Amino acid sequence: MPIAYLLLGSNLGDRATILQEARQYLSEAAGPVVAASGLYETAAWGVEDQPPFLNQALSIQTSFSPTHLLQVCLATEQQAGRVREVRWGARTLDVDILLYGQEIVDLPDLQIPHPRLPERRFALAPLAEIASAIWHPTLQCTVAELLAACPDKLPVQRQ
């Protein structure tokens, strides 16, 4: 079964509890969590005038297709009370698919690898903790190399 790499993020409510409940829900709904990074407090990216995020990377073993996994990720966000009002705005939970094995997916609602992964330190730092040697299928380098070259200078602190 493929291994998918997800990024969880929350900047509203009890962030740590929301991430814990999301990990549990994803494990039950999509497949077992193989690895989980620590929690990282990160500055908001995109729309910076909002509370800081807690982020965590997960690897899960799933039998779902990438599009089915996306539906589970969206259901997980909804379960946590996510309301989509402003792009990159504050939210109870965000679940992004960063990588799905070595697959490349280019659909209107789903791009894998995540197209903004190389420019987001808040995603690369926790991902590197659990998958530093994983190969990015389109950029032909490792997650560790992407993190080392990341232009994003926003603070990312492991909790």
Contact 9, 41 (CB under 8 A): no
Q: Which residue of the set 15, 96, 121, 152 is catalytic? A: 96
Q: Is 94 a catalytic residue?
A: yes
Catalytic pick among 15, 23, 91, 120: 91
Torsion of CA 56, 116, 28, 40, to 10 degrees: 0
From the list 23, 82, 120, 121, the catalytic residue is: 82
* The two three-digit tokens of residue 149, written as one number: 């070259």
Q: Residues 15, 23, 94, 120: which is the catalytic one?
A: 94
d(CA 140, CA 64): 25
What is d(CA 117, CA 26) in angstroms, rounded to the nearest whole number? 21
Residue 49 bears catalytic tag? no
Q: Is 120 a catalytic residue?
A: no
Q: Is 121 one of the annotated active-site residues of the chain?
A: no
Q: Which residues are catalytic?
A: 82, 91, 94, 96
